[in-house]
Chain A
Amino acid sequence: MKILLIEDDSEAAHYLVQALDEAGHVTHHAGDGETGYAMASGMDYDMLIVDRMLPRRDGLSVIESLRAEGNQTPALILSALGEVEDRVTGLRSGGDDYLTKPYAFSELLARVEVLARRSNPAEAATSLTVGDLTLDRLSREVSRNGDKIVLQPREFRLLEYLMKHSGQVVTRTMLLENVWDYHFDPQTNVIDVHISRLRAKIDKGYKAQLLQTVRGAGYMIRA
């Protein structure tokens, strides 16, 4: 994936470029808003990672301008401002996701990879399949190997989110945001508890364990 990182902190940028490179992505770096805007409109990127507060031009205005020109490249906003209203302004200006500094790299990588596939067909598909596990989004039925699995509404949404991003790492924060719509980090292992309940329902008694824990990052469902 070709990524443009617009970030003025050169040390943080250097670290990010290296880490993204290790994860198999080609990353270009722009040190200020103006340069970033020029690069983003001049070249085709698969993903933009934009710091919110930039010299010469604000990150949100860069995204706004790109969107106004019809550029739909997914954009992840990085910001030290983490309140709900800051997040809302960020997403309203055309950003696709919002990550508050400081963040774990695994969190950033998971979000970038999920964002890049946001335009994939799974988004609109009426039924999701991972191995022998299928989830029907219309009838809200889940079955594995033909056996029906009964899920609570929230468990259904949890599984739906995981299956929509099958093969990708999904972090605890992402789950809390997307399944429960909470934007804070709880102290306890609340997500782990829900995952283990879900796992008991879909994986128990099967040889292939679909729902996997990715150490230090989050969870992933895959065949």
Chain B
Amino acid sequence: MHKIVSLWRTTTVRLTAIFILIFIVFSIALLAYMAVRSSISIQQVQTREVVWEIRQLRELNQRRGLRALAITVQRLASRPGPGVYYLGTPQGEMIAGNLSSVPSNILANEGRYSLRYTPQDAFGQAGVERDETAPRERDSHAMVQSVILQGGLRLVVGRDVVERRDFTAIILGTMAVGLGGIVVLSAIAGVLMARRVLARIDTITETSNKIMSGNLSERVPVTKHNDEFDQLAINLNDMLDRIEKLMAGLKEVTDNVAHDLKTPLSRMRNRAEAALREGKTPRDHKKALEATIAESDQLISTFNALLLIARVEAGSVADNLQDVDVSEVVSDVCELYGPVVEDTGAVLETRISPGIQLRANRELLSQALVNLLENAIKYAAAQNTGSEKHKTTKGKIIVSAERENERIRIVVADNGPGIPLDDRRRVLERFVRLEKSRTEQGSGLGLSLVSAVARLHKGTFELEDAKPGVRAVVTLPVNP
């Protein structure tokens, strides 16, 4: 029962029912029209027949006389079918025909009449001695034409309409049966269709239930039909992929926060404890406190970087894009860092084509560039203070921004120690800093942010081997 109720609630079943209803109404209208039309045309045919027969009989009477007429009428009357005939004397005596009695008023005046009569049975008796208790259905009804022939002979020719009506009834009956069949069949088809649709929706509901109960890796099955349901399933799956990715990102962030913030936090706590326990002079305490503050500042910046990456990757800043002059952004950052590069003894070279426009987040783009530059400065500087062998090469950083067709290419290249191929990808993961630079300052999140910012602008971020050095390439599409 519940199943039926739920079936009725489905749109498909209701639509089917409505269509069946509309179909029935139209069918009935069509049937009625057909019945009326056929009845009318049968009547027209019969009237023509009657007129023709009367003309023939009248001629027969004139040419061959009463005897031939009586025989013909009798022969016509004895044919099976709807024909009714009466031939009588002016005095009202019946000569031939299958109508036993015709009211005298019909016989007296020529014209068309509607006549109720009792059909004669094969033995020609019933008409006269009709049993009054016999069922009325045996009464018949005919449309007749009465004429007075030469010599005062009365001729009545007509057609039984009951038979005509029976015929119409048969047509209607057949069609009604057909209609009933159609209704039943389409109802079955509708239910089957609804169940099919329901089954597919049920799989979607089932999947979403599984997902809601925690299994985020479930996906809605996609069939080969490539219909609306498959479109819906594909869209849902895409959405789920995105959600799963976001969730994974969130989990990663929390994991990273837990791991990489807990370590310095406990270190900080230990230091404070040690200062309380061992610190003798106010100087010791002051030193410990200063170290604590420095450490907490580092923690805060790591935390901020993590949050920012998470936000950028979640795309929540995506609606905050404006028209930005990329050339200006790049040259502003270069201008800010120019003196810093010079102070490390390296050279900063810029090749920025003017007027590169992009819908972007200026702040994030600037920060990504700052991260790349700070990275480059770190590595280029490492070269100058590096081993004796390298001391002769001067650190050099090249920043370029140019538009190539539909893409904007921003490159920050240094000639410091390059990244081994295997480490390239790993460098983009959060918190990864290569062994050599472990001791350097920084949260290790710089390049991750660049990567996230590039993705936010539908672009890519890659590290290439510049031999020597690293070329950091950010490619952004102009029309994402």
What residues make up the interface of A, taking CB atoms closer than 8 Å to B?
Answer: 82-85, 102, 104, 154, 180, 182-190, 193-194, 197
The reply to whether A182 and B441 form a contact with Cβ atoms under 8 Å apart is no
Interface stretch among B159-167, B202-210, B335-343? B335-343
The reply to whether B374 and A187 form a contact with Cβ atoms under 8 Å apart is yes
Main secondary structure of the interface of A (DSSP, over half): loop
Which of A82, A186, A193 lies in contact with B304, CB distance below 8 A? A82
Which of B296, B320, B337 lies in contact with A190, CB distance below 8 A? B337
B253 CB to closest chain A CB (Å) equals 16
Which interface residue of B297, B336, B446 has the most chain A CB atoms within 10 A? B336
Main secondary structure of the interface of B (DSSP, over half): helix
What residues make up the interface of B, taking CB atoms closer than 8 Å to A?
Answer: 293, 296-297, 300-301, 304, 308, 311, 317, 320, 332, 335-337, 339-340, 343, 363, 366-367, 370, 374, 377, 441-442, 446
The reply to whether A182 and B374 form a contact with Cβ atoms under 8 Å apart is no
Count A/B pairs, Cβ under 8 Å. 47
Q: Which residues of B contact A189 (CB under 8 A)?
A: 340
The reply to whether B367 and A85 form a contact with Cβ atoms under 8 Å apart is no
The reply to whether B374 and A186 form a contact with Cβ atoms under 8 Å apart is yes
B367 CB to closest chain A CB (Å) equals 5
The reply to whether A180 and B332 form a contact with Cβ atoms under 8 Å apart is yes
A50 CB to closest chain B CB (Å) equals 21
The reply to whether B320 and A193 form a contact with Cβ atoms under 8 Å apart is no
A8 CB to closest chain B CB (Å) equals 21
A67 CB to closest chain B CB (Å) equals 25
Q: What are some 6 contacts across the A-B interface (CB < 8 A)?
A: A83-B308, A102-B300, A187-B301, A188-B374, A194-B336, A194-B339
B338 CB to closest chain A CB (Å) equals 9
Which residue on chain B has the smallest CB distance to residue A88?
B320
Which residue on chain A has the smallest CB distance to residue B343?
A193
The 5 closest A-B pairs by CB, nearest first: A193-B339, A193-B340, A84-B363, A184-B367, A190-B340
A83-B311, A180-B336, A194-B339 as given contacts; A187 in contact with B320, CB under 8 Å: no
Bound: A189/B336 CA distance, A: 11
Which residue on chain A has the smallest CB distance to residue B364?
A84
Bound: A190/B308 CA distance, A: 21
The reply to whether B340 and A182 form a contact with Cβ atoms under 8 Å apart is no
Bound: A187/B441 CA distance, A: 8
The reply to whether B366 and A185 form a contact with Cβ atoms under 8 Å apart is no
Which interface residue of A85, A180, A185, A187 has the most chain B CB atoms within 10 A? A187
Q: Which residues of A contact B317 (CB under 8 A)?
A: 83, 85
